[in-house]
Structure 1
Amino acid sequence: MAATLLQAHDVSDLCIGKPALRWLPPSSTVADAAAELEGAEAIAVWDGEEGSDVAGRVCMADVLLFLCAGANLASPAAALQATLSDLLAAAAPPPVRRIEPDASVLEAVDSLLGGAHSLVVPIRERWRRAGRAELCWLTLEDVVRFFLSSIGLFSPTASRSVSDLGVVRPAANLAVAAGDSALSALPLLSRQPTSPSALCSSDEDNDGKRCVASPCARRGKRGPFSSRAMGWRPAAEAIVCRRGSSLVAVMVQAMAHRATHVWVVDEEGEERELVLVGVVGLLDVLRVLRHHLHQPPPI
């Protein structure tokens, strides 16, 4: 039944109501991108021509990482005048892939699992000036949200725990010590393909595992782990689950808080302190749902 869902829906069904993406040509400066990103989650590096490829997707985190990298940190004014081509060359980001509106949802899923950072879809029905193409973003979050709306078709996979499904990944490459310098986090942030803000700050006790909060987190009345948002929202607390949390519960958490990663914690010791044991990313979730399509239906 889940496979039938994917065959019955085109990519255009996931793009209903989406605005045209903002874009700048590759020759624009990093300063131009910073200004254009005011009020926008991301911009496309594109020449605006019908049928031409989008060179990349740039968000404010990419701009900040570029400004803090190497010699750019010593001369931020000069770095702001670098071109977006220079920024993309330095970052080596995962590719942005174009996909047609009449393509199947399964094709979009396989493109994301194949390494695409995000997808661009032509908007054909929208009024536009002659010769001027318009595209919209289709992201990993959009696809996972689409699956969540029909999650019953993925039973019993969706009700199994994230630990049982094997989607809890080690978080060593996503964690920094609370006392480390901010610059020490840059190499980790630059290696995250789906969200450059997905890091966890941790207090290093005897075994170095006790987790405190996400990079933007603050301690609130409910403690360092609560159900409040994380990621690009400022002063937010980490989104966490347990090893026994179901896949659908993790999906709901991620979608409700616009998070690309959900931290997995557990209690240890006599004081039952929460420790970071891993992380579940939306790409892991999508891979499990894609694998579900190959399984025989339950009897």
Structure 2
Amino acid sequence: MAVGFLANEVSELCLGKPALRCLSAAAATVGDALSALRRSGDAAVGLWSCCDDDADGAPSGEAGRCVCVGKVCTVDIVCFLCREENLADPAAALRSKVAAVVPKGGGLVRHLEPHASLLDAIELILEGAQNLVVPMRSRKGTAPRKNILHNHREYCWLTLEDIVRYLLNFINLFAPTPALPINSLGIIDTDSILAVHYYDPAASALQLIPESNLKQTAVAIVDDDGGQLIGEISPLTLSACDLTVAAAVLTLSAGDLMAYIDCGGPPDDLVRLVKERLEEKNLVTFLESLDEELAFSLPSASSSSDEEFGCGKSGRIGGYSARMVRRSEAIMCYPSSSLVAVMIQALAHRVSYVWVVEEDRSLAGIVTFRSMLRVFHERLKSVS
């Protein structure tokens, strides 16, 4: 393996990356986070904690220092609104401090200097980090915007996808490992699969969706008989919907929710079914309140089209944001699939996992970017 590859710095992965937009972890509300996500079209927004220059008790030498302490995505907000205590007044819930929706689990966001090695980045990922915050090299002739400037520097963040995509460019250096079947590499997870049955209430997945978001996977939907994989409830797809998808989660079956969040837009009959069941549960005001909040918090029609910000073919309910969305069809491979084939498959579909199924489509496990990185980490450590 080329020695030079081990010396590659993470700054190489930052080329062309946009500057990270951020919110104050102390001052921002859940509604602020929602507005920031909708304006930017980003999958997540970073939360920053700063030691104020004038703050009493700021640690010595820490005054003015800012640290990214977490991130929030739309699915965090959707699950928050589905909590029992927030059903009566979702507008009030959106006025809560953003800390209420921050995923529980330390170390999801870690800082890394641009001169750090690729191996350093992989090790932080294997320790549990989802995003690596890296200072960007200054660009001549450009003035950074205030809302993306911390410690007088601009930052970007790197994801598992960025690192796996970068490794794919040098895949020949790891031969013959990439050509080996995944069942020979010990990377198929068979123990911690998150799944619900097709006819289960979608609300039964409310505990699993945040967990799948932390694991950067999804909740599998399987049939009641043979455990065959039918589809999935993906945090990524849920994050592409507007907040009214919370009403669908509360009222539909898992199978119907899968159809509802499909990128083609929810069928009219499911939209009607959601409204009928909200009436049965005395939750009509829940949807009305979300509609009002969306109309208030999202950018005006003069700056974006209705389709971009939440008005699907059936009106406000069931809309999608402007960023890329994908279908709720599960991405699958077989135990005999090669590592490189599964890498390419995941990257092509912009997911960080691939379901593993047997020939009859029965669910056998899941392979994640993190488990793939363990394989490459072992190879890199062996020659470092």
Q: Whole-Å Cα distance in 2 between the matches of residues 110 and 2 of structure 1?
A: 20
Q: Whole-Å Cα distance in 1 between the matches of residues 30 and 96 of structure 2?
A: 6
Distance apart, 1:166 and its partner CA: 0.9
SS in 2 for 1:33: helix
Q: Whole-Å Cα distance in 1 between the matches of residues 192 and 200 of structure 2?
A: 15
CA contact (8 A) 2:216 2:352 kept: no
Q: Whole-Å Cα distance in 1 between the matches of residues 205 and 369 of structure 2?
A: 22
Pick from 72, 75, 88 the counterpart of residue 58 of structure 1: 72
CA contact (8 A) 1:3 1:293 kept: no
Q: Whole-Å Cα distance in 1 between the matches of residues 207 and 99 of structure 2?
A: 20
Q: Given residue 11 of structure 1, which amino acid in structure 2 is its aligned partner?
A: V
Bigger mean CA deviation after superposition, 127-136 or 79-88: 127-136
CA contact (8 A) 1:65 1:186 kept: yes
- Structure 1 partner of 2:335: 243
Report 1:129-278 matches (<5 A). 132-170=152-190, 173-192=193-212, 194=214, 198-205=218-225, 207=226, 209-215=227-233, 233-267=325-359, 273-278=360-365
- Identify the structure with the greater helix proportion: 2
SS in 2 for 1:101: coil
Q: Whole-Å Cα distance in 2 between the matches of residues 178 and 2 of structure 1?
A: 49
TM-score, normalized by length of structure 2? 0.66
1:104 partnered with 2:117:
yes
Query: What is the identity percentage for the equivalent residue pairs of Structure 1 and Structure 2?
Result: 41
Distance apart, 1:109 and its partner CA: 0.6
TM-score, normalized by length of structure 1? 0.84
Distance apart, 1:74 and its partner CA: 3.9
Q: Given residue 266 of structure 1, which amino acid in structure 2 is its aligned partner?
A: E
CA contact (8 A) 1:31 1:80 kept: yes
| Bigger Rg, which one | 2
Distance apart, 1:118 and its partner CA: 1.0
Distance apart, 1:92 and its partner CA: 3.9
Distance apart, 1:95 and its partner CA: 2.6
Distance apart, 1:91 and its partner CA: 3.5
Q: Whole-Å Cα distance in 1 between the matches of residues 158 and 116 of structure 2?
A: 13
Q: Residue 282 and residue 214 in structure 1: after superposition, are their counterparts in 2 closer, same or farther (change >3 A)?
A: same
1:25 partnered with 2:24:
yes
Task: Provide the aligned length of Structure 1 versus Structure 2.
Answer: 277
Q: Whole-Å Cα distance in 2 between the matches of residues 109 and 151 of structure 1?
A: 16
**C-alpha distance after superposition, 1:149-191 (max 9, x if no partner):** 1101111111111111011111653211111112211211222
CA contact (8 A) 1:44 1:57 kept: yes
CA contact (8 A) 2:212 2:219 kept: no
CA contact (8 A) 1:14 1:146 kept: yes
Q: Residue 168 and residue 82 in structure 1: after superposition, are their counterparts in 2 closer, same or farther (change >3 A)?
A: same
- Structure 1 partner of 2:300: none
1:75 partnered with 2:89:
yes
- Structure 2 partner of 1:45: 47
- Structure 2 partner of 1:283: 370
Q: Whole-Å Cα distance in 2 between the matches of residues 138 and 213 of structure 1?
A: 28
- Structure 2 partner of 1:223: none
Q: Whole-Å Cα distance in 2 between the matches of residues 201 and 63 of structure 1?
A: 22
